[in-house]
A and B are shown apart, each in its own frame.
Chain A
């Protein structure tokens, strides 16, 4: 027997499916696809057109393309067609003169400006002034140079018309080279990453950042959960609210507060000055203090996650167990180590694995505080991917390269999250619907 699909169910999930498809699945697909391209600001995103520029001609000449072809492509010609006539009308050429051009020269081609001008001079209503005549010739000029062709076929046709003798292979090579959009470069981005000396540095930074922040999060989270567990309600409440504040404080304000705390003339600066200690901009002034800052900035947000989960797990321990251990004469430390910690094994593992993943990919706080500095000493992988693709001050955003870097994180993220799903048996939370109609 097969239970019938609920139409209501399909209707109910389809909005979620549509949004998740558009903003989860498609981004993953696009990240994957464009990781293998050289897409950047220069190439555009939606695909390019075909243009032959002077630079390109020079490059082609150096690459061994027949010089005659290149010369031919570099030349301009003049032709009278309905299109060029329309262009001339738009440019404001006198209508009667235009009428004569159409009547007498329609369909003719002129190799250069001089022959076209002399043809125009033979017309009865030609302009008297030379400047006007020259202006009138311009709309009729057909040059392949710097003209955009939407498709490759158009470009090839244009090349053929300019250089009819060129072999098909050459035409194809030139048309290919004239493409301005992004191209497939296979594993080029990944090769570049491997070759770059900074890559290893960024990887090490990332490992250090994740490990240090994670250690802070888990230990402080545990410490907070256990200590607040032993405190009376008001005291415990005060500290848990204080530690929850960073979690709900908007990240921009949180960054401002840390800046005030560590900046020139900020809190630490003033204190250090009064104590005669070295006072400088701790956030950006030295590598160790910059690292300390970003670890604490993230740690103070992340610790409350552990605190919440561990506190929940602690409250689930039957209080009788603790009373019993006290009756048995256990000290507080023994109670924590032998009764409490063993029961927190799964929450600790969960927090560790969950935060590994989120720290690996997080860069918002780093971006808003040290921004990877000083130099690139605190730059982590996710921040570098983001900067490469979306936040580059030089203006040329390398989407393809950024996507390649992000793809590595996406792959790691997918593998780890599926692994956690298995490890914590979340799939067992699925129950069968009990109404079968």
Chain B
């Protein structure tokens, strides 16, 4: 089922948090609403599932306008951050609840609960109570309960935030597998770029109540529309250098030396204020230009090592490379910079 937001507007006590937002989620697609806390992504989710009333615009499921339809009649499945399992009911009663509310007969409920439990791999947990489950198991139960009545849309509100690192990895692929198997349209709300990139077909990145860019994860990583998106995606984060174009295809860092610009920007006029974004993986691996400096920080991460390199003029670049021990703190190094992959932004922060 396609989900469309048209000029969606939401205010709280006269404060407009989302103003005329437009978004289309294609049928069967999994889309991430990614953004820092307070950016309006959860508000959007709550509006879609019918917990919040919208103040303007429309929400369409397919062609049906659900803007004024209460949650009970929207047929949306939601997985909450804290799972919101009913503590006094067993797992199977939890999953059966949406069906029993609907008035399905016992045999059908039994059958459906079995089927969904099989899909989510929780058959052996059905008799337990939520308090007896691990975080990952609770997550699966919440997913099963959200899916059991075959909703048109599945909404996931920070579903992995309460899990420890190892489980998070496991559930990431589990949720994606289940979404693909059921073919349901899903919206994932998260502040974690890794989750968004690894689980979703497309990402809508939000800040301050606005969608900045909607794109596939790779496109967004490679070609962010502005500085915010560039900074939000990528770990370790991109290094932003403020400066201006030299006029001959180079970039002058404020109060310092120059760095090469990508060739597509060769014709940019001199003195144009620019921000140059250097991702750590684009410095120290390959590239035409050489940049030399002193290693001022080393952070071994096991498989990789992260270096800070301070250039002669005080500019600090970051580099991530496969683990190496041949260089150490204080060493002088000259590493290649992949100028073609550098990102440049104008004074307003938009990509150029």
In the bound assembly, the distance between CA atoms of A434 and B49 in angstroms comes to 13
B176 at the interface (CB under 8 A from A): no
A residues near B52, Cβ cutoff 8 Å: 436
In the bound assembly, the distance between CA atoms of A436 and B55 in angstroms comes to 11
Distance between A6 CB and nearest chain B CB, rounded to angstroms: 11
Distance between B15 CB and nearest chain A CB, rounded to angstroms: 13
A residues near B11, Cβ cutoff 8 Å: 1
B349 at the interface (CB under 8 A from A): no
B77 at the interface (CB under 8 A from A): no
B55 near A437: Cβ-Cβ < 8 Å: no
Other contacts beyond A1-B54, A434-B51: 5, CB < 8 A: A435-B71, A436-B52, A437-B50, A437-B51, A437-B71
B114 at the interface (CB under 8 A from A): no
In the bound assembly, the distance between CA atoms of A383 and B51 in angstroms comes to 54
Q: Which chain B residue has the least Cβ–Cβ distance from A434? A: B51
A3 at the interface (CB under 8 A from B): yes
In the bound assembly, the distance between CA atoms of A3 and B54 in angstroms comes to 10
Q: How many residues of A contact B (CB 8 A)?
A: 6
B70 at the interface (CB under 8 A from A): yes
B53 at the interface (CB under 8 A from A): yes
Could you list which residues of chain B lie within 8 angstroms of chain A, going by C-beta atoms? 11, 50-55, 70-71
Once A437-B70, A437-B71 are accepted as A-B contacts, the answer to whether A1 and B50 lie under 8 Å apart by CB is: no
In the bound assembly, the distance between CA atoms of A434 and B51 in angstroms comes to 7
A3 partner, pick from B50, B53, B70, B71, beta carbons under 8 A: B53
In the bound assembly, the distance between CA atoms of A437 and B49 in angstroms comes to 11
B residues near A437, Cβ cutoff 8 Å: 50-51, 53, 70-71
Q: List 16 A-B contacts (CB under 8 A).
A: A1-B11, A1-B53, A1-B54, A1-B55, A3-B53, A434-B51, A435-B51, A435-B71, A436-B51, A436-B52, A436-B53, A437-B50, A437-B51, A437-B53, A437-B70, A437-B71
A residues near B71, Cβ cutoff 8 Å: 435, 437
Find residues 389-437 in chain A having any chain B CB closer than 8 Å to their own CB.
Answer: 434-437
Distance between B85 CB and nearest chain A CB, rounded to angstroms: 18
Q: A2-36 vs B: 1/0 string, CB under 8 Å?
A: 01000000000000000000000000000000000
Q: Which chain A residue has the least Cβ–Cβ distance from B53? A: A436
Q: Which chain B residue has the least Cβ–Cβ distance from A2? A: B53
A residues near B55, Cβ cutoff 8 Å: 1
In the bound assembly, the distance between CA atoms of A3 and B50 in angstroms comes to 13
A residues near B53, Cβ cutoff 8 Å: 1, 3, 436-437
In the bound assembly, the distance between CA atoms of A436 and B47 in angstroms comes to 10
Q: Which chain A residue has the least Cβ–Cβ distance from B72? A: A437
A residues near B54, Cβ cutoff 8 Å: 1
In the bound assembly, the distance between CA atoms of A301 and B11 in angstroms comes to 51
Distance between A333 CB and nearest chain B CB, rounded to angstroms: 45
Q: Which chain B residue has the least Cβ–Cβ distance from A436? A: B53
Q: Which chain A residue has the least Cβ–Cβ distance from B73? A: A437
B residues near A3, Cβ cutoff 8 Å: 53
Q: Which chain A residue has the least Cβ–Cβ distance from B69? A: A437
Distance between B49 CB and nearest chain A CB, rounded to angstroms: 10
In the bound assembly, the distance between CA atoms of A437 and B59 in angstroms comes to 15
In the bound assembly, the distance between CA atoms of A215 and B252 in angstroms comes to 77
